[in-house]
Amino acid sequence: MAFATRAPLRPTPQGVTVWFTGLPSAGKTTIANLVGDRLAERDHPVELLDGDVVRTHLSRGLGFSKADRDENIRRIGYVAGLLTGHGVTVLVSAISPYRAVRDEVRAAVEQVGGFVEVHVATDLATCRSRDVKGLYARQARGELRGLTGVDDPYEAPLAAELVLDTAGEPTEASAARVLALLDGRPAPELVGSGS
């Protein structure tokens, strides 16, 4: 049985998914929250999909094998695509360590709206020093295996629309660069880049 589709009553502005990827404690969620707050101040429809929160609710029961990690990212991508298709700016904050599944999600979301990949490329030493969730300490004590960037791979994006380094600039400045990109303005130069 086929279902008829109706045209929307009014045009919906194109949504966009902004996908923040990077190592644990790189600053993905902090930046996404700042961007979300600024967009909300403009009365812009925005939703944040945090990898840890999604794992608790939508992906409960998945482990940390490559297959389970990929499935978790596909689920996040599916929800992001639904929201993007309704004109929402979706801010996804997820380690998403494997390039192929990120590219798969990009292709799916681009069928309904925009997709911007933001690589929060903070170095491992800085991430270790922050250790927001205690993951690096647990790994060092032998209590955790398969930590992305330490004993499990992280495949950095090859052509992210924006690369941020929170070791080299304040998170507010990183958020401002994301907002400039979304506004169609050139992103301010990286603080201290010498350019």
End-to-end CA distance of the chain: 60
Active-site hit among 96, 174, 193, 195: 96
Q: Locate 78 and state its tokens.
A: 């599916």
- Helix runs in the chain, H state only: 28-41, 51-57, 66-84, 99-109, 124-130, 135-140, 171-182
Q: Is 25 a catalytic residue?
A: no
Could you tell me if 5 and 26 are in contact, meaning their C-beta atoms sit under 8 angstroms apart? no
Q: List the strands of the sheet with 162-164, edge to edge.
A: 46-50, 89-93, 16-21, 114-120, 162-164
Which amino acids are annotated catalytic? Answer: 96
